[in-house]
A = this chain, B = another copy of it.
Amino acid sequence: MDTSQLLKGVLDLAVLAVLRDADGYGYDVLRRLRAAGLEDVADASVYGTLRRLFQAGALTSYVQPSEEGPHRKYYGLNKTGHELLARSTKTWNHFADTMSVLLEEEAA
C-alpha cells in the first residue's frame, strides 16, 4: 500500500539513475521518475534528494532560464555521483536478491 517507506534510501539511487543519461532539473527528474513507474513520488522528496546529493558532492548544478516558466536548476552526475550510483546499484541488487530468496522460500 504505502510505497513511501519503500523509497527510503532508494530514492537517491533512483534519482542518480535518471540523471545518468542526461542532466535534468527537479521538475523534469520528477516526471522521469513517475514515467519510470515511481508514480507516488512526491515533488518535495525529489527536490530534497537533489539538494542532499548536491551537498554530498555527487552532483553538479547550474541554473538556466526557461521560456516556458520559471528558471530551471539543472543537476548532473560528476565523478563522485557515478561512483555512488555504481556502489548503490550493487548494494541494491544484493539487497533485492536477498529479499527475493526470503520471499520465495517454501513457495515451491
Contact = CB atoms under 8 A, between A and B. Distances in A.
Instruction: List the number of copies, as a whole number.
Output: 2
Given A17-B105, A21-B105, A96-B100, 19 more contacts: A1-B87, A3-B91, A3-B95, A5-B10, A6-B8, A6-B92, A6-B95, A8-B9, A13-B99, A13-B103, A14-B102, A17-B103, A18-B102, A36-B102, A38-B102, A89-B103, A92-B99, A93-B103, A96-B99
The 9 closest A-B pairs by CB, nearest first: A5-B9, A8-B8, A37-B98, A6-B9, A17-B102, A5-B8, A36-B102, A96-B96, A6-B95
A51 to B, nearest CB: 17
Interface of A: 1-6, 8-10, 13-14, 17-18, 20-21, 36-38, 87, 89, 91-93, 95-96, 98-103, 105-106
Contacts of A89: 103
